[in-house]
Structure 1
Amino acid sequence: MLAIPLAWLQLTYQKGRLAIAIAGIMFAVILIAMQLGFQEALFKSAVLLHLNLRSDLILIHPSSNNLLNLRQFPRRRLYQAEGFAGVKSVHPVYIGLAVWNAPELGVKEDILAIGVSPQAHPFLFPNIQPDLEKTLLPDVVLFDRGSREDFYGAVAAQYEAAIAQGKILTKEVTNRAITIGGLFTMGVSFASNGTLITSEQNFLRIFPDRPIGNINLGLVQLEKGAKAIAIRDVMRSQLDQDVKILTRQEFIDLELNYWSEATPIGFIFGLGVIMGFIVGVVIVYQVLYKDVSDHLAEYATLKAMGYSNFFLFGLILQESLLLSLCGFLPALSVCAVLYSITQNATGLLMDLNSDRIVQLFLLTVAMCAISGTLSLRKVQTADPAEIFD
């Protein structure tokens, strides 16, 4: 019971050193939190479309490994898949990068364009279906209100203003005039800053060189109670090798694996977390080591009075845990502000939820505990006979 006040008194004895230690821990926690936030934003944003596809099985080209690298494969494979037992319906999806012309910004930017059959109800986005049916009209598209305004302009606000005035909003995509027929909400990713959804016919008008017989995705919906894995295996054994059949989760995992393993960005964020952790360990270690060195005579006195090394070890570890609390709480407040600023500036999903808070706290405690453990070696050398000789 006496050890906790003693640990606190030792930490607060030199308030300047304590302030430096807290600042160092805050810096390390904020660095770790931002790297983890960017990494999670990368993974969440990468599969926003995948999670909103209404499909049990997905057909893709065997060489495809991420959303922006979905190679084309014959549409007839999708119709062949429709003949398997347990298949309810199949629907083609066209995907490509179009050029968005924003003369008010003086720029032309790529935008992700998706072509589907509106009658197929291919998406899980809330309230999208009524507007999606509008894309059956020539050159009508839906615009993602989560797209970056600095790339494409304030399209969502312009559309709502036009609707209020009974007008239509027209834009230019790949040298073709298009009409914004509605909005949906998906959001940006590291690969794409904006998205359009339209019908197959309008997609082929935007991409006149694309053959109608080649698609990028095949959506397969199964009958109620059908086993997706079993049907997938049957399809794999009977369809040609120019198509790959995946479950919905396998399609999501394919995208996540690409960003985490096949690109340097996933490695960079992971390395950032490790570096932040090491920085924190070094800072706390230096503080605790200096504190132990300054109080070595007191530790030697306690040992001469009969206190064991175990007691002294507990004292140092308590100091490290108190430091973790002192640094973690203010750092958490700063992280909340930085997450909000980053999300507003980039549109990426930066969420400081309870799981992230617990993860950060455990990393902070581990960081300080490792530092305390390393500094224990100095306590072991506290020999009363030598110090008071």
Structure 2
Amino acid sequence: MALLLARPLYLAFRSWRNVETTRIRALLLLGFNYRDPVLRVPEVYQSLSALQRQDTLLMNSLSRSEFGPREVGLKTELNRRQVEIVGLFSLNNTIRADGTAIVSDQNFIRLNPGRSLDDISLGLITVEPGVKVDEVVQNLRQIMPATIKVFSRQEAMSRDREYWVKSTSLGYIIGVAVIMAFLVATVIVYQVLSSDVNERLHEYATLKAIGYTNLRLLTVVIQEALVLATLGFIPGCLLALGMYHAIFIATRLPVAMTVSRMLFVFALTIVTCSASGFVVARKVLVADPADVF
């Protein structure tokens, strides 16, 4: 198994002081060996010489405004130690971390008394071209002790996504909201279609009396349901795109409406409206023209 050397990455949440308000806020601190290319952030490697100085850091320009000014040369306190911002970088926030700073591994230890360089948060391994990542992961799991978890990049992303969806209150709330939206949409579409069918029940009865089959009448109702689905989806999609953009501007979280998600929502809208259409169509199918007139 051909591997490159593992490169360490250090993570910790530390208290950051806003120089304007003097308020304290938790900030995610990333530490790395400046000789290791572990971060895909070009601005970091443009400031390596400055990062080697004692008590210096790079500040995320996308951090929330609660962290105060983000200016090169600004001095403040991080974990009760005076530090200086020597550069800026751009990195989207996460749900847990709305502010980020990057330091060298030596400065990381200075800002975390009692912690050594052997206490690694993540060990990043790059495989050589042609080597299968899955095989590397399986081999490492057999070698490493049980206290060390080994994941591929995709497995780590899936694990993180599953944690937020299934193990936190946020995922539960969003799941319940989706179910409620589905049920409410079904009821609203049913009421609209039901009201329209009741107003035109004589016309449906006339069509039935002159020989229209139940399948043809069902098709008419379903077509109306599909028109409602399409007309409702377009403004709803535009509103969702606006909300996604507003959330990104406010939080700098990497949220976006993907094409696959958009298509899934449209398919779900079609299913919802079609289900309501089938239920409403029963009134037309069981209606007796003689009773209507």
- TM-score normalized with structure 2 length: 0.93
Alignment of 1:1-389 (within 5 A): 85-149=1-65, 151-155=66-70, 158-159=71-72, 168-388=73-293
The code of the aligned residue for 1:154 comes to: P
Q: Secondary structure at the match of 2:145?
A: coil
Q: Secondary structure at the match of 2:165?
A: helix
State the alpha-carbon separation in 2 of the partners of residues 154 and 231 from structure 1: 44
Q: Which runs of 5+ in 2 are unaligned?
A: none
Q: Secondary structure at the match of 1:329?
A: helix
The code of the aligned residue for 1:148 comes to: R
Is the 8 Å Cα contact of residues 189 and 348 (structure 1) preserved in structure 2?
yes
Shift of 1:105: 2.7
Shift of 1:134: 2.6
Is the 8 Å Cα contact of residues 19 and 76 (structure 2) preserved in structure 1?
no
Is the 8 Å Cα contact of residues 164 and 170 (structure 2) preserved in structure 1?
yes
Is the 8 Å Cα contact of residues 118 and 132 (structure 1) preserved in structure 2?
yes
State the alpha-carbon separation in 2 of the partners of residues 120 and 238 from structure 1: 24
- Tell which deviates more after alignment, 323-332 or 95-104: 323-332
Change (3 A) 1:251 1:340: closer
Q: Secondary structure at the match of 1:246?
A: coil
Larger RCO (CA within 8 A; separation ≥ 6): 1
The code of the aligned residue for 2:111 comes to: I
Is the 8 Å Cα contact of residues 132 and 142 (structure 1) preserved in structure 2?
no
Is the 8 Å Cα contact of residues 56 and 86 (structure 2) preserved in structure 1?
yes
Change (3 A) 1:231 1:334: closer
Change (3 A) 1:334 1:247: closer
Shift of 1:288: 0.8
Is the 8 Å Cα contact of residues 281 and 367 (structure 1) preserved in structure 2?
yes
RMSD (Å) for aligned C-alpha atoms: 1.9
State the alpha-carbon separation in 1 of the partners of residues 249 and 142 from structure 2: 48
State the alpha-carbon separation in 2 of the partners of residues 131 and 332 from structure 1: 42
State the alpha-carbon separation in 2 of the partners of residues 381 and 181 from structure 1: 77
Is the 8 Å Cα contact of residues 187 and 194 (structure 1) preserved in structure 2?
no
Change (3 A) 1:194 1:279: same
Identical positions, percent: 34
Which structure shows the bigger proportion of residues in helix conformation?
Answer: 1
Shift of 1:252: 2.0
Change (3 A) 1:354 1:239: closer
Change (3 A) 1:366 1:105: farther
Q: Secondary structure at the match of 2:114?
A: coil
What is the number of equivalent residue pairs in this alignment? 293
Change (3 A) 1:132 1:371: farther
The code of the aligned residue for 1:153 comes to: G
